[in-house]
A and B are shown apart, each in its own frame.
Chain A
Amino acid sequence: MIVHLSGVTKRFGERVAVDDLTLNVPAGVCFGLLGPNGAGKTTTLRMIYGVTLPTSGEVRVFGMDAARHVRAVRRRLGVTLQQNVLIETISPRANLTVFGRYHLMDGADLARRVEQLLDFLELRSHADVPVNKLSGGYQRRLAVALSLMNRPELLILDEPTTGLDPAVRLALWSRVRELRRGGTTVLLTTHYMDEAQRLCDVVAIMSAGDVIAQGAPEALIERYLARETVELDATPEEEHALLRGLEESPPRYRAGNRTMLYTDEAGPLLERIRKRPEFDDRAMVARPTNLEDVFLALTGTRLEDDP
Chain B
Amino acid sequence: MNLSWRHALSVWRRNATMYRRTWRWNILPNFFEPVLYLVSLGVGLGAYITTMGGTSYIEFLAPGLVCVAAMNGASFEVTYNVYVRMNIEKAYDAMLTTPIQPVDVVAGELLWAMTRSCMYGLCFALVVAAAGLAPLPQALWVLAVIPLTGLLFSAIGLAFTLRIGTMELYSFYFTLFLTPLFLFSSVFFPLEERLSASWLWVAECLPLLHPVRLARAAFSGQPSTTLVWDVAYILGLSGALVAYATRLMQRKLTQ
**Residue positions of A touching B, CB distance < 8 A:** 12, 49-53, 70-72, 74-75, 78-79, 81, 83, 85, 87-90, 94, 97-99, 101-104, 146-147, 150
CB contacts (< 8 Å) of B6 on chain A: these are: 104
Q: B254 touching A103 by the CB < 8 A rule?
A: no
Q: Which residue in chain B gives the minimum CB-CB distance to A85?
A: B94
Q: Which chain B residues border A88 with CB–CB below 8 Å?
A: 89
Per the bound structure, the CA–CA distance linking A89 and B11 in Å amounts to 17
Residues of chain B within 8 A of A12, CB atoms compared: 255
- In Å, the complex CA distance between A105 and B145 comes to 34
- Chain B residues with Cβ below 8 Å from A101 are 10, 13-14
Residue of A nearest to B22 (CB): A89
Question: Binary interface profile of B, 68-98, with partner A (CB < 8 Å = 1, else 0)?
Answer: 0000000000000000000001110111111
Residue B99 at the chain A interface, CB threshold 8 Å: yes
What's the least CB distance linking A104 to chain B, in Å?
6
Q: How far is the CA of A103 from the CA of B7 in the complex (A)?
A: 8
State whether B97 touches A81 (Cβ < 8 A).
yes
Given contacts A52-B254, A89-B18, contact A81 B99 (CB under 8 A): no
In the complex, whether B26 has a CB less than 8 A from a CB of chain A is no
Select one of A90, A97, A147 contacting B97, CB under 8 A. A147
Contact of A87 among B4, B13, B18, B100 (CB under 8 A): B18
- 19 A-B pairs (CB sep. < 8 Å): A51-B254, A51-B255, A70-B99, A70-B101, A72-B99, A74-B98, A75-B99, A78-B97, A81-B93, A85-B91, A87-B14, A90-B17, A94-B17, A99-B94, A102-B11, A103-B99, A104-B6, A104-B7, A150-B98
Query: How many Å lie between the Cα of A147 and that of B100 in the bound state?
Result: 14
Closest to A150 in B: B98
Q: How far is the CA of A88 from the CA of B84 in the complex (A)?
A: 13
> For residue B253, which residues in chain A have a CB less than 8 angstroms away from its CB?
51
Interchain nearest-CB distance for B20 vs A (Å): 10
Interface string of B1-41 (1 = CB under 8 A from A): 00010110011011001100100000000000000000000
Measured CB to CB, the closest approach of chain B to A204, in angstroms, equals: 22
Please report the C-alpha to C-alpha distance between residue A168 and residue B95 in the assembled complex, in whole angstroms: 26
Instruction: Report which B residues bind A (CB closer than 8 A).
Output: 4, 6-7, 10-11, 13-14, 17-18, 21, 89-91, 93-101, 253-255
Contact A87 B95 (CB under 8 A): no
In the assembled complex, which residues on chain A have CB atoms less than 8 Å from the CB atom of B96? 51
CB <8 Å contact, A74 and B99: yes
B13–A74 touching, CB < 8 Å: no
Asked whether, in the complex, the Cβ of B98 is within 8 Å of the Cβ of A99, the reply is yes
A89 touches B98 (CB 8 A): no
**Distance A39 CA – B65 CA, assembled complex (angstroms):** 57
CA distance A150 to B253 in the complex (A): 22
Across the two chains, which residue of chain A brings its CB closest to B255?
A: A52
Q: Are A81 and B94 in contact (CB under 8 A)?
A: yes
The reply to whether B10 and A85 contact each other, CB–CB distance below 8 Å, is: no
Q: A89-B18, A94-B17 are in contact. Are A102 and B101 (CB under 8 A)?
A: no
Chain B residue nearest to A101 (CB atoms) is B10
Q: Nearest residue in B to A53 (C-beta to C-beta)?
A: B254
**A90-B17, A150-B98 known; 18 other A-B pairs, CB under 8 Å?**
A51-B96, A53-B254, A70-B99, A71-B4, A71-B99, A71-B101, A72-B99, A74-B99, A85-B90, A87-B14, A87-B89, A97-B17, A99-B94, A102-B99, A102-B100, A103-B98, A103-B99, A104-B10
Q: For the complex, give the distance between the alpha carbons of A78 and B98 in Å.
A: 7
B17, B18, B97, most chain A CB atoms within 10 A: B97
Q: Is the CB of A74 within 8 A of B18?
A: no
Measured between alpha carbons, how far is A71 from B14 in the docked complex, in Å? Answer: 19
Most buried by A among B11, B98, B99, B253: B98
Interface centre among A50, A51, A101, A147 (most CB of B within 10 A): A101
Report chain A residues within 8 Å CB of B97.
Answer: 49, 51, 74, 78-79, 81, 147
Residue of B nearest to A75 (CB): B99
CA distance A88 to B91 in the complex (A): 11
The residues of A that contact B255 with a CB separation of less than 8 Å are: 12, 51-53
Are A85 and B93 CB-contacts (below 8 A) given A99-B98, A102-B98?
yes
Q: Report the Cα distance A49→B255, complex, angstroms.
A: 12
Contact assessment for A90 and B21 in the assembled complex, using a CB-CB cutoff below 8 Å:
yes
Among B90, B94, B253, the one with the most A-chain Cβ atoms within 10 Å of its Cβ is B94
Minimum CB–CB distance from B163 to chain A (whole Å) comes to: 20
